[in-house]
Structure 1
């Protein structure tokens, strides 16, 4: 019995060490990407950063693209966690406004992560989205998007809005607008004299005012 528990202890320790090294690999890769971009990410650079042989990395990840995909998925989860508390707001109009403000705030205060998941290599970010089932109960990026879809569902149900497209289309339009604000502010802020906060305020109120109601 003692031998059994000893073996169990060794096995658990090995699993813990394996998980820790996996996170160490991802952490080093994230630093490289945030500093130099996806193009600079190589297995050798990651291995050098954590002082392991490159072959060790292949025990944990198939290649550098798999590592890059995991970094994006982590970034999507950060975004979801940032937006999730807004779900508690009962009125969908207020919720839409706060969701939009929170999205832009995330982009401006987590600029490196935002660039990583939305403004780096489109092949990598698209692959990250495809790496999880396209279902609201799974990938964090889709869960974040569904928060917007549900807002429009609730607007239709609770405010009698007459929409000539489904909620998904309106959510896509709103997300596109929010991304435009964040990306322009991050890449050429001098071009937009108005603050990001003011821009999102004007945009959301204009957006809501333009939605027709059934009188």
Structure 2
């Protein structure tokens, strides 16, 4: 390995070390507590070193968002093997809920913090790139409704992307309330997600116009 390759590898390793430390701080103390100085202390480097790799705390937050979307996609990806789109939708809903409740700090960061982080992490990223996982996650839902149309469970005129957005926002509504006001909803999250999904599916028919 040449010296230039070694330097690039070391640079990538330190970048990931910075992101790992930032994620640990976010999980432990919340995103509001994340500072460049705390990251530097965690990895035992001078604060100025962090700025050689990331321009700002916001840039680190955007990278954490992209990693969070990748983790979410990896959680949802196994559902692609389920043939029946209705069962696949139920599995996606369950996996999505499990991800949010198991990784509350990551979920808050990618969906409930400053929208400029989410917008920056999602915008201008080709869907086939690794850091395009946020859009790939949405496309898993779109494909569910496309497959329902192909199986004549839905009219071919139905907008699959719109249905995906409606379903996603319904899921997010449950999780955001559970994470923000855990004592407000007395019904367990799993039951809420199941009832919402079954009710959503019950409302779909070949006559639906959307």
TM-score (norm 2): 0.90
Distance apart, 1:29 and its partner CA: 1.3
Alpha carbons 2:65, 2:109 under 8 Å: kept = yes
Please tell me whether residue 205 in structure 1 is matched to residue 198 in structure 2: yes
Q: Deviations over 1:96-136 (max 9, x none)?
A: 11111111111112222212211222222222222x42x43
Shift, 1:163, TM fit: 6.8
Rounded Cα–Cα distance in structure 2 between residues aligned with 1:11 and 1:163 = 54
* Separation in 2, partners of 1:94, 1:165: 20
1:33 to 7, 10, 26: 26
Of residues 66, 84, 88 in structure 2, which corresponds to 1:73?
66
Match of 1:137 in 2: 128
Instruction: Please give the alpha-carbon distance, in whole angstroms, between the structure 2 residues aligned to 1:187 and 1:62.
Output: 31
Structure 1 runs not aligned, ≥5 long: 1-7
Aligned length: 205
Partner of 1:4: none
Unaligned runs of 5+ in 2: none
User: Which of 83, 87, 95 is the equivalent residue of 2:80?
Assistant: 87
**CA RMSD in angstroms, aligned pairs only:** 1.8
Residue 3 of structure 1 is matched in structure 2 by none
Kindly provide the CA deviation profile for residues 165-191 of structure 1, in whole angstroms up to 9, marking residues without a partner as x. 410100000000101111111122222
Distance 1:36 1:124, change over 3 A: farther
Structure number, greater radius of gyration: 1
CA distance in 1 between counterparts of 2:166 and 2:153 reads 20
Task: Give me the whole-angstrom Cα distance separating, in 1, the residues matched to 2:33 and 2:98.
Answer: 28
Distance 1:46 1:190 in 2: 33
**Mapped contact 2:30–2:105 kept (Cα < 8 A):** no
Cα distance in 1 for partners of 2:173, 2:11 equals 40
Deviation at 1:64, TM superposition (A): 1.6
* Whole-angstrom CA distance in 2 between matches of 1:100 and 1:40: 31
